[in-house]
Amino acid sequence: MARARSVVVRSSGERDLLAQVRSRSPEDRERLLAMPGEELAASVSALTPRDRAEFLELCERGPEIVPLLAEAVFTSAVLATGVEHAAWLVEHATQEQRVAALDLDCWQDQRPIPERFFEWIDAMIEAGPETLVRAFDELDLELWILLLRRMASFRFLSPTEWADVATLDGLVGIDAQTSEGEERVRQILGTALTDSPEHYWRFVGGVMNESPLQCQEAAARNQRARLEELGFPERGQAMGVYRPLPLDDVSLPPPAAASPTDDALMVRGRPPAGLEGTVLGEALVGLGPDTAARVFADVLVVANSLAVADQLPLAEPDSVTRSLEKAVRGIERGLVALAEVRGRSPSSLLAGLSPTTLFRAGASVDRSLRPTKSKAELRRDEEADDWSVATESIAEADQTLADDGDSIEYGGSTLPTGRVR
């Protein structure tokens, strides 16, 4: 089942946490050492990515805390550190964290970005052979084949070449595209040949025999499935959040009678952090804690759908903020508009309508919430007053890892500006 990615909000308590690790006083050191691991990981997750990276580097318990972080939180910490300086974070990460980080950071429009993969692989190499060998199984075989193929071409040597051509195994010649690629591919294959020979021959045989197009299609399918497990739907499904829903077409459930318990919760309850003073936050207060938690989780589902539909870089912490802000704005717009038209309170509407329905209604009355044309070829169907995305397929001519040419230009395959460093 897909899960929504959690959103954390920085508080004064978390700022104090960073001050404690910076102070290096015996009292602060003992306090940090005494904190339960899960509690400390939750507090670290609430820091900004840059502060989180600094804390993990300074804290004695970094190797213990890293595996406890959510996948997206781990990824943002690495990006804030700089992948080229984050080998120790990569080393202490779990398999799920490493795979999710590459899925979030190294793909664009379901196409792999080789330069991003190479940065992470270099960090794995620096982390040591154990980390690299684990990655042989963690990453799809098809992806390794594509990446190795991007770095070099392989061929079986003839007997007359055995004495003259340097090889790793005495049989296969490696013709690297660049000196940097040669060093990387020799690190990968040298480790494989020494520590995991079965992977070595799978990699070499795959590069020489497997179809690059089929490898890319398989790797993209696997990445898409893993993203859905992280709570990011397939793009066609994500675009459903933009399907127009006129206010008159919204079917309202019958009003639910409020109980004394509900009234008491409305007095004592507080909206989620970051939603204070908003219509959505106040409406959540009126639902009671259990219902409010379920509805807020569905708000995060809308935010994830918007991040995918709007093609935001999923590894960027700013994308979480932007998509959540847009989700809240659209849901509030739908709540306010329906409350005015139907004469119902926002809480009663939120109790009976999904956040997705409310966003769709909000986007139908507020054009600023709708998608705009982009390179993804968003198009509008005038008759149905609907928005959809043109289906894209991977073709032989696409400039991706599946290309057969020796020289490949990656125009359009770079990440948007604004990466957290």
- Give the pLDDT of residue 170: 81
CA dist 364 and 243 (Å) reads 8
* Strands, E assignment, 7-63: none
- Give the pLDDT of residue 130: 96
- Give the pLDDT of residue 220: 94
- Give the pLDDT of residue 47: 87
**Cα 79 to Cα 48, 73, 123, distances in angstroms:** 12, 10, 12
- Give the pLDDT of residue 212: 93
CA dist 124 and 4 (Å) reads 28
Segment holding 390, helix H or strand E: none
Burial of 395 (0-12, 13-18, 19+ CB in 10 A): exposed
pLDDT at 272 over 90: no
Of residues 93, 89, 113, the one with CA closest to residue 103: 113
Kindly give the interhelix angle for 114-127 and 179-195, rounded to the nearest 10 degrees. Answer: 50
Q: Identify the band that residue 1 occupies on the pLDDT scale cut at 50, 70 and 90.
A: very low
pLDDT digits (tens, 9 = 90+) for 81-127: 999 999 999 999 999 999 999 999 999 878 899 999 999 999 999 99
**Cα 197 to Cα 113, 136, 144, 171, 203, distances in angstroms:** 27, 11, 15, 14, 10
- Give the pLDDT of residue 385: 41
pLDDT at 237 over 70: yes
**Cα 335 to Cα 82, 257, 349, 360, distances in angstroms:** 41, 19, 7, 11
Mean pLDDT of 139-148: 96
Amino acid, res. 377: E
Mean pLDDT of 269-289: 80
Contact 335, 278 (CB under 8 A): no
Which ranges constitute the DSSP H helices of 139-234? 141-151, 179-195, 197-209, 212-229
Q: What is the mean pLDDT of the chain?
A: 80
Contact 184, 174 (CB under 8 A): no
Kindly give the interhelix angle for 197-209 and 141-151, rounded to the nearest 10 degrees. Answer: 70
pLDDT at 15 over 60: no
**Cα 208 to Cα 116, 137, 196, 217, 260, distances in angstroms:** 24, 20, 19, 18, 72
Of residues 71, 230, 83, 205, the one with CA closest to residue 144: 205
CA dist 133 and 62 (Å) reads 23
C-alpha torsion angle, residues 191, 192, 196, 199 (rounded to 10) = 160
pLDDT digits (tens, 9 = 90+) for 176-235: 888 888 899 999 999 999 999 999 999 999 999 999 999 999 999 999 999 999 999 998
pLDDT digits (tens, 9 = 90+) for 384-418: 343 333 333 333 333 344 443 332 222 232 222 23
Give ∠ CA 33-90-320 in degrees, rounded to 5: 85
CA dist 78 and 82 (Å) reads 6
Pick 54 or 258 by higher pLDDT: 54
